[in-house]
Chain A
């Protein structure tokens, strides 16, 4: 029982991180119908930016943790957004009218570029960061096992909920959100009624990258280590989350993220930890075969 609750707590934390990354996939897919293969690597880049920004702040004498965290959040979101924008501008926008596989191949190229860029710039070694936020609560205590809820976990979940609320508001209430929904329905029609399609797509990438940046910071805080390769596995898992929740659907991305996080932690706890990635990848395959529209997605109509 205690183990179960503990895994539930861990799973929800992990799921929040996946959910934030998944939103980036699902938004881009919703609007231009392509898998932004480099999104996982944008997440990785953001974790590195956060790490360096934090070390730089400490070197500059900013040692108060809440202030440092806030500044790191701002810096990482801004710079990662720039990465999201640059990737779209360089690798995807020129291909808007190209053939079907072109943007995907270009995205794979971009993913390789980002991964190797970080590897060259920062080295291939694992980068550790001492825990910034200690402490936590003991929820249930029995003789053999104590269920812990750490402050980092609370922070992760609360931030995710807040961002989701903000983001849903942007989509539902603002001009930008309306443009994005218009682009999702029909790019050409949206441009005919005066939506600046290029700008909307660019902003979609920027927002997706900003959310990935938050996920990157939380990943850094939660695990305390990062390396240049984390983007690949996290990317595939977040994509699985997006597909599981129904690609194109924002609540679906969050739901899918939570489910993937829970499945992964429970699998590691009760089965074999070696095969946890196999489990996540298998879910992707199984979902795509039996439930291609996902839990909350709409069936896709093929147009000629």
Chain B
């Protein structure tokens, strides 16, 4: 190390930087010359014509050159880390307030409907964020705790949504009966799908769950007599306040409690409903982590072979993680169905699974607060940059790669050990050996 530090001369190597930057520019030119430089459009005759876009190509190549040059200038041979981008005082300040952050966040979450009572748009956005927080927490059990990469999580979300929609439409069951049923059905599907495949290695498991997610979506599209096919199911019953509907009638919620009727009552109710569901997910996860099963999950994530030699039944351990994760996905799904009043296979594509996975990855696999923050940042960011909507998937694809390279434990990368001797110490991400099972 010492030798390396000496050989890195204080004045940086201009020629090396120029060489690398030129190479990067050449590669960028090769990559983008056809795909960016020429755009295919449907011409007047219907055949494709090419429209040249020289400037876009030039700017991208220039950006690659300048980017690599700057990187060489700032970091040289040294590998850059996230710490370079955030000054030390900021980091210590963050570390100091971090323990109180969760309470502040919870308080804020509880107060949102009071503060923004009249802002329907913001309330809807908050509900959406909380839905993803809940999905993220559910998937976190599978990916973050048990270390199983599930690329088909949206399948359980779909099972929950369709369970509620079909039960409510065909049997007239209320939301409160359907909610646990949807959760149980999703968990059942989790076991059914998980049982045969959980013996597989991590990568295979990922692909198989992806295949399952697609199979479920394709069945939803093609089984028209049951699911309505691509048209989906509409007119799903809205939730009631434990039997009192949110209508302007005499026996509605507003009249019974003597309020003036407002359509916002339902939105506020939905907000608290998803908040409570999400908090239940969180509480269950935190409790489970301390139970033997939760410890087994984390042990499994770190080293599967060691687990087996310690006598942990890995199949059952994985299966419980899969089933519990699926159950929360099912709850979130039936909430989604009752909130939207309309569901179709469009809502359950692979992109959705990838989004939830990205939330978990960005938040730091295994970190509850990180997932919540990541969901808020991501969906909030989507809304803020609405006009750049087409770029959002591109950005979050890059974010997934960047996080894996620079911050593999996620943005909130400190973790409290679940089990400890004498004293509970905060372990920084740098000290945590990555699970390499």
Contact = CB atoms under 8 A, between A and B. Distances in A.
Interface of A: 33-35, 45, 48-49, 51-53, 55-56, 59, 75, 78-79, 82-83, 86, 90-91, 94-95, 98-106, 108-113, 115-123, 125, 127-130, 232, 236, 239-240, 243, 272, 274-275, 277-278, 281-282, 284-285, 288-289, 292, 300, 302, 304
B279 interface: no
B400 interface: yes
B27 A108 contact: no
Interface string B38-52: 111110001111100
B206 to A, nearest CB: 6
22 contacts: A48-B35, A49-B35, A55-B48, A56-B50, A86-B27, A86-B31, A90-B401, A91-B404, A100-B435, A108-B400, A109-B401, A112-B354, A236-B207, A236-B214, A274-B222, A277-B218, A278-B215, A278-B222, A281-B214, A284-B211, A285-B211, A292-B200
B202 interface: yes
A120 to B, nearest CB: 6
A104 B203 contact: yes
B400 A105 contact: yes
A100 B214 CA distance: 24
A113 B35 CA distance: 14
Contacts of A53: 34
Interface stretch (B181-189, B335-343, B389-397): B389-397
Contact of B31 (A79, A111, A116): A79
A285 B35 contact: no
A121 B207 contact: no
Main SS of the interface on chain B? Answer: helix
Contacts of A59: 50
A228 to B, nearest CB: 11
B50 A105 contact: no
B419 interface: no
Contacts of A51: 40, 48
Contacts of B40: 51-52, 55, 122-123, 127
B398 interface: yes
Nearest to B401: A109
Given A49-B35, A79-B30, A106 B405 contact: yes
A121 B46 CA distance: 20
A103 B210 CA distance: 17
Interface in B124-147: 143, 147
B226 interface: no
A288 B201 CA distance: 10
Contact of A275 (B31, B47, B218, B397): B218
Contacts of B201: 300
B375 interface: no
Given A35-B203, A56-B50, 19 more contacts: A33-B203, A35-B206, A49-B35, A52-B38, A55-B48, A75-B34, A86-B31, A101-B149, A117-B35, A122-B35, A128-B47, A243-B204, A281-B211, A281-B218, A282-B215, A284-B211, A285-B211, A288-B200, A292-B204
B401 A45 contact: no
Contacts of B54: none
A108 B50 contact: no
A63 B202 CA distance: 49
Contact of A288 (B197, B357, B393): B197
Nearest to A54: B48
A48 B46 CA distance: 18
Q: Which of A49, A55, A112, A130 has the most CB of B within 10 A?
A: A112
A120 B357 contact: no
A126 to B, nearest CB: 10
Nearest to B218: A278
B388 to A, nearest CB: 10
Interface string B305-334: 100000000000000000000000000000
Nearest to A276: B218
B346 interface: no
Contacts of A34: 203
A226 to B, nearest CB: 10
Interface of B: 27, 30-31, 33-36, 38-42, 46-50, 143, 147, 149, 151, 196-197, 200-204, 206-208, 210-212, 214-215, 218-219, 221-222, 305, 350, 354, 357-358, 361, 365, 390-391, 393-394, 396-401, 404-405, 408, 434-437
B434 A98 contact: yes
B398 A289 contact: no
A91 B399 CA distance: 11
B378 to A, nearest CB: 13
Contacts of B434: 98-99, 102
Contacts of B42: 125
A99 B149 CA distance: 13
Contacts of B47: 128, 130
B27 A82 contact: yes
- Residue from B41, B361, B405 whose CB has the most chain A CB atoms within 10 Å: B405
A105 B404 contact: yes
Contacts of B49: 55
Contacts of A127: 40, 48
Contacts of B214: 236, 277, 281
Nearest to B147: A101
Contact of A112 (B30, B202, B211, B397): B397
A101 B206 CA distance: 10
Nearest to A128: B48
A112 B214 CA distance: 16
Residue among A108, A236, A282 with the most chain B CB within 10 A? A108
A59 B43 CA distance: 14
Contacts of A232: 350
Contacts of A86: 27, 31
A105 B358 CA distance: 9
Contact of B149 (A33, A104, A239): A104
Contacts of B394: 112-113, 116-117, 120
Contacts of B401: 90-91, 106, 109-110, 113
A292 B203 CA distance: 13
Nearest to B394: A116
Contact of B34 (A49, A288, A304): A49
Contacts of A100: 147, 202, 435-437
A108 B151 contact: yes
| Best-buried of B48, B143, B149, B408 by chain A (most CB within 10 Å) | B48
A110 B408 contact: no
